[in-house]
Structure 1
Amino acid sequence: MESLVKEENTSAKKLRSALDGVHRAGVPGVFAEVRAGERIWRGAAGVADLETGRPVETGMRQRVGSITKTFVSAAVLRQVEEGRLGLDEPIGDHLPQLVPGDRGRAITVRMLLNHTSGLAEYLPYAFPSLKEFAPGSLDDNRFRQFRPAELIEMGVGAPATGEPGSTPGIYSNTNYLLLGELLEHLTGTPVEAHVFRAVIEPAGLANTGFPAGPRIEEPHSRMYEALFGAIDPPRDYSVYTMSWVMTGAGLVSTVGDLNRFYRKLLDGEIVSPSSLTEMQRLVPVIAQDGRRIDYGLGLYKTETPEGIFWGHDGTVWGAMTMAWAGADSGRQFAAAMNLVRWRKPDAEGTTHPIDDALATLKHQALCDPATDLCSAP
């Protein structure tokens, strides 16, 4: 379940302890990969199936949620590099039927990428029970085949969250469904196939792709959704049709592939250096959980005592994933968990043991053991 390029040392033992801590805090199963140059640590703790006790393993597939946005953004930037698109072109020039009139002329491709379009999130309309923190819609939509256009219409038709280009932006999956439609319009190819050929395949990611149906065929964990305590005990949503969020959060990958992808991205092997500079041009954005984050084009920044790291995190029903990479240090961390939305509404203002344990794991994964920064967070 665990491997080291070199003999296990104190840092690896601390990583092992921190990973076990996330499991002890209440996550059924968690697995991770940490890279520091040529050194690689992998570990897993807990179970993939609460009924059978089947253990999680480090190579399992995971629904990676909004990490998908970095892949879609890279595909859009490659279209810019080929001269087929401009970041500051109005989306209405390309998709007037989806964003008509003055809004289509005011909202640019860049605004979709960095969530400053003012377009509302469609999820409360596609999953109406979420407004009451009730799970009915999650079960109703398990095998529903949404069309991107109908979801986009929900977001475009909802009250705007702000003027196009204003900050802070409001995080919205409507933006990335529109970018998926834009890529199809420009390439004449289904967006899932285009992202695979333009980004995933050149990056050498053998275990990453959009699912063909509601099931993940390769070894994976069950995925337990708590919906802030509304589903107790948490329910398995590992079998789920992902049409509700495909180019916003539909990818399946592994922690190893995610680390490989973000290393290649930051090293200029996915998009050009000038495109990467655009991806790292930040604006303030309000995330779905209310955090204020520094967001670029499908990529955002986190600052820790150990330095600056770039990447993304993401959730879908039952699964949470994160991936971070240091541009200078070369240190990387990707982790996957099979429980999400564990915090109950009445717990606001307090920390949950899982949150504390995840903070410890992230700190231990990203700190440099050659310095004194690996003390307690």
Structure 2
Amino acid sequence: MKNPLDPTALNAAIGHVHRAGMPGLFAEVRDGDQVWRGAAGVADVTTGRPVTADMRHRVGSITKTFTAAAVLQQVENGQIGLDTPIGRYLPKLVPGERGDAITVRMLMNHTSGLAEYLPYAYPSLKAFPALADTGPQSLDDNRFTRFHPTELIGMGVTAPAVGAPGGTPGVYSNTNYLLLGQLLEQVTGTTAERYITRNVIERAGLRDTAFPAGPYVDGPHSRLYEEWFGMIDPPRDYSVYDMSWVGPAAALTSTVADLNRFYGMLPAGEIVSPSSLAQMQRTVPVVSQEGRTIDYGLGLHPMEGPGQGAFWGHGGTVWGGGALAMTRADGKRQMTIAVNLQRWNSLDSSGKPQPHPIDDALAALYRAAMYG
């Protein structure tokens, strides 16, 4: 069923998210040749500077799709085996039996059983994801910290395992994607960031997508406000931040237009081959960082709509910012939405995030964007 874009409905829906409490957000929705771009609210709550739809934004774990595509290019070149143990490539980083048991595919679909390094790198997040026992102090402490990926990987690999290699449900872990970055470096002889820039970002013709060289976002961008479940009041700006804490797992900056272009080219076979895309779309159950079980492929996950077929894409969050990019399976209908506030939900006495009007308003915007 054809549901053309309805600019009036989309403008109303994006405005509703702002009124529900989101300082600022912007989006692009595409349906074939039709394009709608919209923005609502402010990029800076102090000055009132408005957000605009062409702003650059930290897009968090959307980076994982780019990293997965780069790995699959090397699979196509015969340099990496999807079902080869990671210990064959990186024996020092994942030694012994685990290195023999964990395959490249298990890293890509989060079934490696390797723990998340985040609570070890950020001491005040030690109880993450038991949120009530965490605090925001480490966010400030690490604003300008330059982490080396092998240091973070070591924290994840030496932490207690969260599952058996290949077991399901898997557990979402950034440790997996930092290892994939090291794998790319090992087989290409250049850093993962450089390889992804040359062979994924530039190949796709993305002009406003990059790994930041330092703690600043280049070009026009919004401030990024972190609330950490009401523990930071008023929310604090973390738009200046050294992204070495996530690297090839979540460090990219991009625009809503670039992300729609990228996720439109992916199902068309212009980034990886159709057989690689089929591998990306083979899903397993994975427990997300929010504690929900989702279906997850290789750097991609589906979002089903009632009777509308699957949308494929990825979401991402960083301190203070978030984005979601989704493309219908046929590549024709797309949306990317960027927001400048994170963890707006308060916690109940058991530490569970409570519903917030922003949640419902965002869901309504997603529906208007994807289904008309």
Name the TM tier (shorter chain): over 0.9
Classify the secondary structure of the residue corresponding to 1:276. helix
Deviation track 1:239-273 (CA, whole Å, cap 9, x = no partner) reads 00000001110000000000000000011100000
* Match for residue 125 of structure 1 among 117, 120, 126: 120
Classify the secondary structure of the residue corresponding to 2:229. helix
2:193 counterpart residue number: 192
- Contact 1:15–1:364, Cα closer than 8 Å, also in 2: yes
Q: Which runs of 5+ in 1 are unaligned?
A: 1-8, 370-377
**Whole-Å Cα distance in 2 between the matches of residues 365 and 291 of structure 1?**
23
| 2:74 maps to 1:79 | yes
Alignment of 1:39-118 (within 5 A): 39-118=34-113
Deviation track 1:209-228 (CA, whole Å, cap 9, x = no partner) reads 10000001200000000111
CA drift at 1:16: 0.4
1:257 counterpart residue number: 258
Classify the secondary structure of the residue corresponding to 1:227. coil
**Whole-Å Cα distance in 1 between the matches of residues 33 and 304 of structure 2?**
23
Classify the secondary structure of the residue corresponding to 1:208. coil
Alignment of 1:217-232 (within 5 A): 217-232=218-233
Structure 1 residues 329, 104: closer, same or farther in 2, change over 3 A?
A: closer
**Whole-Å Cα distance in 1 between the matches of residues 191 and 100 of structure 2?**
25
Structure 1 residues 15, 329: closer, same or farther in 2, change over 3 A?
A: same
2:130 counterpart residue number: none
Deviation track 1:300-327 (CA, whole Å, cap 9, x = no partner) reads 0010123310000000000010000001
Classify the secondary structure of the residue corresponding to 2:19. helix
Aligned CA RMSD, in angstroms, stands at 1.2
- Identity of aligned pairs, percent? 64
1:319 counterpart residue number: 321
* Match for residue 310 of structure 2 among 308, 333, 337: 308
Return the letter of the residue paired with 1:103.
R
**Whole-Å Cα distance in 2 between the matches of residues 20 and 308 of structure 1?**
27
Alignment of 1:275-290 (within 5 A): 275-290=276-291
CA drift at 1:328: 2.4
**Whole-Å Cα distance in 1 between the matches of residues 353 and 212 of structure 2?**
37
**Whole-Å Cα distance in 1 between the matches of residues 234 and 200 of structure 2?**
38
Classify the secondary structure of the residue corresponding to 1:308. strand
CA drift at 1:344: 1.1
| 2:156 maps to 1:155 | yes
Normalising by the residue count of structure 2, what TM-score does the alignment of the two structures yield?
Answer: 0.95
2:26 counterpart residue number: 31
Return the letter of the residue paired with 1:33.
E
Alignment of 1:131-210 (within 5 A): 131=127, 132-210=133-211
1:331 counterpart residue number: 333
Structure 1 residues 10, 170: closer, same or farther in 2, change over 3 A?
A: closer
CA drift at 1:139: 0.5
Structure 1 residues 333, 121: closer, same or farther in 2, change over 3 A?
A: same
| 2:358 maps to 1:358 | no
- Contact 2:57–2:222, Cα closer than 8 Å, also in 1: yes
Classify the secondary structure of the residue corresponding to 1:77. helix
1:5 counterpart residue number: none
- Contact 1:133–1:230, Cα closer than 8 Å, also in 2: no
**Whole-Å Cα distance in 2 between the matches of residues 118 and 164 of structure 1?**
5
Q: Which runs of 5+ in 2 are unaligned?
A: 128-132
1:215 counterpart residue number: 216
CA drift at 1:291: 1.3
Structure 1 residues 171, 349: closer, same or farther in 2, change over 3 A?
A: closer
Structure 1 residues 91, 331: closer, same or farther in 2, change over 3 A?
A: same
Return the letter of the residue paired with 1:353.
P
- Contact 1:133–1:227, Cα closer than 8 Å, also in 2: no
CA drift at 1:74: 0.1
Return the letter of the residue paired with 2:28.
E
- Contact 2:346–2:354, Cα closer than 8 Å, also in 1: no
**Whole-Å Cα distance in 2 between the matches of residues 348 and 133 of structure 1?**
12
- Contact 2:347–2:354, Cα closer than 8 Å, also in 1: no
**Whole-Å Cα distance in 2 between the matches of residues 190 and 174 of structure 1?**
17
Q: Which moved more, 1:233-242 or 1:321-330?
A: 321-330
Return the letter of the residue paired with 1:272.
S
Deviation track 1:39-86 (CA, whole Å, cap 9, x = no partner) reads 000000000000100000000000000000000000000000001111
Return the letter of the residue paired with 1:162.
G
Deviation track 1:11-33 (CA, whole Å, cap 9, x = no partner) reads 21000000001100111000000
Return the letter of the residue paired with 1:88.
D
Normalising by the residue count of structure 1, what TM-score does the alignment of the two structures yield?
Answer: 0.94
